[in-house]
Structure 1
Amino acid sequence: MTTTGEDRITAGTGPWWWVRWRSAWLDGGLAVASAVECGFEGVQFAGDAGLADPVGVVFGVLAGSVLLLRRRWPIAVVLVSIAITPAAMGFLMGIVALYTLAASELPRRIIGALASMSMVGVLIVSYVRAHQGVVRGDVAFGEWAVPFLSLTTSLGLTAPPILLGLYVGARRRLMESLRERADSLERELQLLAERAEERAEWARNEERTRIAREMHDVVAHRVSLMVVHAAALQAVARKDPEKAVKNAALVGDMGRQALTELREMLGVLRTGDGLSPRTQPVPLAAVGAAAAAAASRAVDDEGGDGPCLADLDELLGQSAAAGMAVDLSVDGDSRAYAPEVEQTAYRVVQEALTNVHKHAAGAKTHVRLAHRSAEIAMQVENEPPPEPEAASDARLPSGGNGLVGMKERVAALGGVFVSGPTDAGGFRVSAVIPAEG
């Protein structure tokens, strides 16, 4: 089977090899017209051949009906039209067959060969009949006009359908190519949209994780200290009123600081980096790393620069005020690091101290800081608590995300984070962060 372009449509509703009923009705009508034409021309053919008229009519009808197969076998139809050309019949079939052949997907050399054969056949038949007419005196022009008329007739019957078929076939292939390209672009756009949606969802999840980590680091430490002080206040309220008043003041200070940090954190989430919430709200997915970094800067003093290594003394002092025996040792010469490096180092120490308050209340804790040429290292190690039940008495809840958050922070800067119990029964948190972050 040779396709003509329309047959390449995947979903067809027509009968047999037709894609649509409209095409079937068109081919049927052309076949009927061709059969009628060839039937009338068969009468003259029978007279010239010495046959009975019914024989010529039947032959003409059968030959003309072959046009019904033009879409399925265009080569066969063209060959039949060439074969009956000497009988001076099948002109409509020849024109339609040549058009169908030129519009098909056949190679150009086959189309050119069959078109040449048809043109030569029409040229010979036209020349012979015109010459016979001049000899018999049926026509008024002279012998010199026979070649011109023959060539004009052959070109008129073959060139227009061939050229029109080539144009229609090229246009159809172009439209199909454009349609395929449009479908391909639509699929690519759909794929890009799906990937963009996946990336947006991943970004939203990542920002939720970052924001939750910031909220945990900023608020959990002070709230943990508040709970520890509240437990101490409850224990000494009646025995030592002065100490109870002091602890109550510490709890108040811690609560105010926690509220300040929480308010600044929520302000960052609403407005981005200090923009007015009434004028330019920022959605959660758009906060990004800038929101996380800005949230880290929302600490003690409003509008301050964010936690840094210089604030470790104050951090350790707060833990000491809560009853923790903590000491700090520094190796190497102190120097300034990138803000994100100092903030991450501070948060690691802060969260490690928070975990000591939660799980090993009263345990002696050692904080070590090492300044190296290309990195900064920190380690927080606590000894076993003197009273293992002390942490449970404080009833400090644990979300189980502190160590995960510290590891994510350090890994984001290309560092290494290790944590685990010590042989002595305590717990150790260690981190190494590149100096350049």
Structure 2
Amino acid sequence: MDVSTVWRDWLARHDRVRDALPAAPLIGVVVAATAVGDSSWHEPHWREGVWAGLSCLPLVFRSRWPLPVALVTVASGLTLMALAPGSAMAPAAGLVALYTLAVLGSRRTAWTVGVAAAAAIAGVHAATHAESLVGGSALVQFDFAIAATALGRAVRNRRDHLAEARARVERAESMQEEEARRRVTEERVRIARDLHDVVAHHITLVNAQAGVAHHLMRRNPDQAFEALAHIKENSRAALDELRATVGLLRQPDDAPGTRAPIPRLADLDALAGGLRAGGLAVHLSRTGTPAPQAPATELTAYRIVQEALTNTHKHASATRATVHLDYGPHTLRVTVTDDGRPGGGRPGGAPAGSGGHGLIGMRERAAAIGGTVTAGPQPDGGFQVVADLPLTLAPAAA
């Protein structure tokens, strides 16, 4: 740290010393000016030096009370000009106070006091020197006071602009940090939903198929072997989807080939086949003209169907479920219906009282891309989940 920085920091902690700094050179200049005669040096006029010192004394408090100090120093300078007409440095302390008022005070106050002080200084100078008010030396005195005020306002404007620029930078940094935190939270919620869907679906299937294999192991080993094969396939699929989901947490420079593809609507047949092997008859149907969809729409539709069928198989006493995809001009309607008994469970979420997050996750997924999800029991029994998803996403949703 250099000497100038240490000096500035020290002055910043000692306001009175900083405010009094201009007084010493001003008093010295006044005393030296009174010692200069027409042709030679002579003893200084100490009375004028003492008066100059008294007029500079209020400068010690110029940053605390800028307006009173300005009025006092200008008045004392005018008095010194009247008592010693030859003192050219009489208004010097008042000029410092006017500069301080312009830096610290409001613009209106600074210019009002500055113009009034300039007129008073010019008037007293003209009266004591028997000159015209618009004469050369009187006009110079007027210009000095105006220049002190203008310089103070320029410094104040520069400080305000710098403070505003710093505030803008801080706001921008704060907004960037908040946006980063928001994105991290959204990504965390999305990954949690993916993990919930993958684990809940495949573990449910593995559990059901393991029960079938255990039941048939002794009586029908061939069917038990087939159930074990389904367990192997579902566990492998679960690992692939977990790898794809956890792959979102990899670093950007990781090899993309290590990640599994994201599920799409074309994978619904494989999803239904796994559930059929677990004992739930699933029927898929499509109406309308399939149109290109945004990848987020396909993934959302797949996850909603997966979650609904998983909870149908896990919580509802259902033997059959239907999945219907209706392609409209701008939306894709996904309908999942089962034949579970009333009150037997809820395919859109965990059973009553379990505190599951299935239906909440479906609605969050749909809302994230601008869609909606409704779910509820049917009048003739069973449960139905309906999701309306946009085929194309707005920029914000994308």
Answer yes or no: same fold by TM over 0.5.
yes
Find the partner of 2:235 among 251, 255, 271: 255
- Match of residue 185 from structure 2: 205
Distance across 2 between alignment mates of 1:348 and 1:61: 91
Is 2:254 aligned against 1:298? no
- Match of residue 285 from structure 1: none
Offset of 1:341 from its aligned partner? 2.7
**After the TM superposition, which residues 310-325 of structure 1 pair with which residues of structure 2 at under 5 Å, given as runs?**
310-325=266-281
Aligned length: 344
**Structure 2: 5+ residue stretches without partners:** 1-10, 35-44, 59-68, 102-109, 394-398
Q: Relative to 1, partners in 2 of residues 1:115 and 1:310: Cα closer, same or farther, differing over 3 Å?
A: same
- Match of residue 254 from structure 2: 276
- Match of residue 405 from structure 1: 361
- Match of residue 241 from structure 1: 221
- Match of residue 84 from structure 1: 83
Q: Relative to 1, partners in 2 of residues 1:106 and 1:63: Cα closer, same or farther, differing over 3 Å?
A: farther
Is 2:370 aligned against 1:414? yes
Q: Relative to 1, partners in 2 of residues 1:115 and 1:317: Cα closer, same or farther, differing over 3 Å?
A: same
What secondary structure is seen at the aligned counterpart in 2 of 1:262?
helix
Offset of 1:29 from its aligned partner? 9.3
Per-residue CA shift, 1:276-335, capped at 9, x if unaligned? 35xx9xxxxxxxxxxxxx99x934xxxxxx433333333222211110122234333445
What secondary structure is seen at the aligned counterpart in 1 of 2:307?
helix
Per-residue CA shift, 1:20-43, capped at 9, x if unaligned? 1464586599679979999xxxxx
Offset of 1:208 from its aligned partner? 0.7
**After the TM superposition, which residues 119-134 of structure 1 pair with which residues of structure 2 at under 5 Å, given as runs?**
119-124=125-130
What letter is aligned with 1:94? A
What secondary structure is seen at the aligned counterpart in 2 of 1:228?
helix
Distance across 2 between alignment mates of 1:367 and 1:317: 13
Distance across 1 between alignment mates of 2:188 and 2:146: 62
Distance across 2 between alignment mates of 1:331 and 1:33: 98
What letter is aligned with 1:262? L
Distance across 1 between alignment mates of 2:51 and 2:254: 87
Offset of 1:198 from its aligned partner? 1.4
8 Å contact kept, 1:31–1:66: no
Distance across 1 between alignment mates of 2:51 and 2:269: 107
Per-residue CA shift, 1:341-368, capped at 9, x if unaligned? 3332222211111111221254322222
8 Å contact kept, 2:118–2:146: no
Find the partner of 2:92 among 96, 107, 112: 96
8 Å contact kept, 2:377–2:383: yes
**After the TM superposition, which residues 62-73 of structure 1 pair with which residues of structure 2 at under 5 Å, given as runs?**
67=55, 68=57, 71-73=70-72
Distance across 1 between alignment mates of 2:342 and 2:219: 22
- Greater radius of gyration (CA): 1
Q: Relative to 1, partners in 2 of residues 1:271 and 1:21: Cα closer, same or farther, differing over 3 Å?
A: closer
8 Å contact kept, 1:12–1:20: no
Find the partner of 1:374 among 312, 327, 330: 330
**Structure 1: 5+ residue stretches without partners:** 1-10, 39-56, 128-150, 281-293, 300-305
Distance across 1 between alignment mates of 2:27 and 2:295: 86
Distance across 2 between alignment mates of 1:29 and 1:248: 99
8 Å contact kept, 1:413–1:433: yes
What letter is aligned with 2:181? E
Distance across 1 between alignment mates of 2:323 and 2:158: 69
8 Å contact kept, 2:70–2:98: no
8 Å contact kept, 2:371–2:389: yes
Distance across 2 between alignment mates of 1:204 and 1:250: 37
Per-residue CA shift, 1:232-270, capped at 9, x if unaligned? 222222222221111111111111222222223333431
| Same amino acid, percent of matched pairs | 31
What secondary structure is seen at the aligned counterpart in 1 of 2:219?
coil
Cα RMSD after superposing both structures: 4.3
- Match of residue 383 from structure 2: 427
TM-score (normalised: structure 1): 0.64
What letter is aligned with 2:383? F
Distance across 1 between alignment mates of 2:217 and 2:326: 41
8 Å contact kept, 1:222–1:258: yes
Is 2:311 aligned against 1:355? yes
- Match of residue 118 from structure 1: 124
Q: Which moved more, 1:28-37 or 1:116-125?
A: 28-37
8 Å contact kept, 2:73–2:97: yes
- Match of residue 230 from structure 1: 210
What secondary structure is seen at the aligned counterpart in 1 of 2:129?
helix
Offset of 1:182 from its aligned partner? 2.1
Is 2:284 aligned against 1:328? yes
- Match of residue 65 from structure 2: none
Offset of 1:203 from its aligned partner? 0.6
Is 2:19 aligned against 1:20? no
Offset of 1:95 from its aligned partner? 4.7
